Structure 1
């Protein structure tokens, strides 16, 4: 899964936590969901401001990203690690050093025994031209961190494997 930095203002201060539980939940409007343990300080900021950001650090940011998963913003101000900026929502802090930043307004909060699942509508995406190909994010240029569990290891993206929803067409008609 991708490793991201989830951003939220908590009591007026930018805070970030490492996050691997992220998924698309809707195409139009574009929405994503993030799973956050109830004990995380960042969850309070999301509920407080009804907004959050999902920031994709490049592999070079591995130490800062891992650190954000080791310490709580309740005790340590992690915003000083980054150049923080705000977009249209004005309450979802983003990280200029990240290759892709998604600004989200909170649409729904689902509560489970140990986690919240926050659903956010992506209001704006921020990236620099150097990370895009034909105006779209390019995974090789973005060079995101990936996380595997249960071995708890970070990885980089590998080689191109094939075009989705096309490579399997050769098997059509062979169904039994």
Structure 2
């Protein structure tokens, strides 16, 4: 198979489209983030990469807390809007019903099927972005988006962001079981 070089770029697939929440000056604000990932098992941690000028980052720095909200594909317009409009000029919280959990300062979106409440573990200035690493204090999942007490990706119906095409996609079909599919070639 022939390959072409496209150079050094920030490309990785898939990228979840999530809504990061923080209180800025005591008011909920949300922004769309595609650069996020689980980064530790014990304690459980998640990272989000946020540009220095983003309004939401101010709230994270102010409170040392944030939320990661997993929107469903039904929330594509709201999710995209939160990525193209700044909270410094527009009240994006008006789009959502916000609620708070154990930390009291990390606003979460009630209509998102899954929410992660996080306290900042550390931040790392990477140049164009700040990597915010948060300890996951609690995860809340809509009951109808679970199966046997665990989140069900097909019911959550999360969005995937494709960069640099700047398109959203839906999760595809199930193709196999993890920690089992490879056993067919294990010696």
TM-score of the alignment, normalized to the shorter chain, above 0.5: yes
Q: Give the C-alpha shift of residue 129 in structure 1.
A: 1.0
The reply to whether residue 38 of structure 1 matches residue 58 of structure 2 is: no
Which residue of 39, 59, 64 maps to 2:73?
A: 59
Which residue of 84, 94, 97 maps to 1:70?
A: 84
Gaps of 5+ in 2: 1-14
Gaps of 5+ in 1: none
The reply to whether residue 5 of structure 1 matches residue 44 of structure 2 is: no
* Mapping 1:1-176, distance limit 5 Å: 1-173=15-187
Q: Give the C-alpha shift of residue 165 in structure 1.
A: 2.1
Aligned-partner Cα distance in 2 for 1:28–1:134: 23
SS in 1 for 2:16: coil
Q: Deviations over 1:62-111 (max 9, x none)?
A: 00110000100000010000000011101000000000000000000011
Aligned-partner Cα distance in 2 for 1:169–1:148: 31
Aligned-partner Cα distance in 2 for 1:71–1:149: 19
Aligned-partner Cα distance in 1 for 2:63–2:154: 33
How many positions carry a matched residue from both structures?
173
